[in-house]
Structure 1
Amino acid sequence: MWIECFEKDARFDGTDRESLVEQFVAHVRGTHEVPYPDEEVRLWARNFAEASAREDGPVERLPSIGSIEVHPVTEERIDDWLRFFDRDAFPDNPDWGSCYCLHPHTGDVPERPWRDVRAEMVERLRSGATLGYLAYVDGTPAGWVNASRRSTYAKYDDVDREGPAPDTVVGVSCFIIAPPYRRHGVSSALLDRVVADGGARGARYVEGYPRRVETDDDSGAFCGPRSMFDARGFAPAEEHDRYTVVRRPVGSAPRP
């Protein structure tokens, strides 16, 4: 297992998790100024180290992929969802291995043990508090989108307060694509399914939050590129510091 500093200036490898954690804490305290207490820094490091060992899926992008199928994550697909997040989603980025896509619902909160985050998201999926979709390629989960009601997202509770009621909006908060399937249209297939299902879910709008400044880093594209939303008839609704709110009515035709 290994831990990489959040500033990318040091990496610690080994088999003893707690030894790696203490090396990391000593590095952080000796090199960086961070406002977090030692126990929170240790917890972040433990989560990273355990993700680096757990996330053992392939990291090489495939030159081509088969057809893409998209399904909502209902009870019978939770095991597929767990396999995806436990092993295949972040083998190239263990820093995100403890998120399990809970962050949109909670907003910024102190670090938590990854098993607690995982358990909370499973319960949200089972209760319907979170709704998302898995994309499959040749029967293998290849990608995920969180497409819950905006009313469930603490991260976006300040979006367009004079606009549509949050419980009438499906918010497309995160795309997570396993490394072999990136840049093969998986996010587009997921977004198309979200748009197609909006009416049946009783929503009036579908909304996205693409970053205002995009990067070439695949891991930085988790909100989806603006161009993908533009091509499907989403129009800008509100600007924020880091992202643009884009929205389209359910049932409207995409622009040519």
Structure 2
Amino acid sequence: MNIAVRPASVYEDVRTLVGPKSPGANVCWCLSYRIPAKLNKELRGPARGEYVAELCRAEPPPGVIAYEGGEPVGWAAAAPRSVTSFARSRSIPHVDDLPVWSLWCIRVRLGHRGKGVSHALIAGAVAFARDRGAPAIEAYPLDSGGDTVDLTMAYAGIRKNFERAGFSHAADTTSVLAGHPRVLMRLDLRG
């Protein structure tokens, strides 16, 4: 399988992966952790997509996209933690004062799962953050202990996938998602 991972600067591809089937629908668009809660509640329907279109034109773009044969098949959200709601989180601790990046959402399209796309997305997000000078990147995956995870709630990722990518457990959190605790995993990008 030939998977290429590139910065998410093509709005139509981001829309394919995280946008609604109906343009007026209110879906996350992967904005819930990216923008302040008040703005997240105010942006409705097409305004959410317009906001994401602006993010795609900005530097850095809102994350990375995995492509297979030119088709967008996966998404990972990544940004400096300082510009996300994780910067103010009471349930996800700060390990230190490094200006780390956060990787908080991984999504693989139906029909493309089980082919290594999520692994490619994690590696691509790491490279994306490293290329933009991040000293470290964090993720907040589920620690399912090998139990099955509801796929709609698996967007945070699974601990073992981050361990495979070289991330280390940096801290426990008080966050729970789909009945599973989340842990703070970190990969140092210096050196």
Q: For the structure 1 residues 237 and 116, does the alpha-carbon distance in structure 2 shift closer, same or farther, using more than 3 Å as the test?
A: same
- Which of 33, 49, 63 is 1:104 aligned to? 33
SS of the residue 2:115 aligns to = coil
Deviation sequence 1:166-189 (CA, Å, 0-9, x none): xx2121110111111112211100
Question: Which residue of structure 1 lines up, in the alignment, with residue 85 of structure 2?
Answer: 154
Q: TM-score, normalised by structure 2?
A: 0.80
**1:151 aligned counterpart, secondary structure:** helix
Percent of residue pairs identical = 26
Q: Find 1:219's aligned residue among 147, 152, 167.
A: 152
> What whole-Å deviation, never above 9, does each CA across 1:223-246 have from its counterpart, x for those lacking one?
111001111221122211221111
Paired with 1:114 and 1:156, the residues of 2 have a C-alpha distance of: 26
Matched, 1:72 2:14: no
Match of 1:232 among 165, 170, 181: 165
Structure having the higher Rg: 1
Distance 1:143 1:68, change over 3 A: same
TM-score (norm 1): 0.61
Across the two proteins, how many residue pairs are aligned to each other?
Answer: 177
Greater fraction of residues in helix: 1
Where in structure 2 are the equivalents of 1:89-128 lying within 5 Å? 98-106=27-35, 108=37, 109-110=40-41, 112-128=43-59
CA spacing shift, 1:111–1:240, aligned 2, 3 Å: farther
CA 212–107 in structure 1, closer or farther in 2 if over 3 Å, else same = farther
- Cα RMSD, aligned residues only: 2.5
Give 2:96's aligned residue.
163
Q: Structure 1: how far apart are the matches of 2:189 and 2:118? A: 19
Contact 1:215 1:221 in 2 (8 A): no
Q: Tell me, which stretches of 5 or more residues in structure 1 are unaligned?
A: 1-65
Counterpart among 195, 204, 211 of residue 135 in structure 2:
204
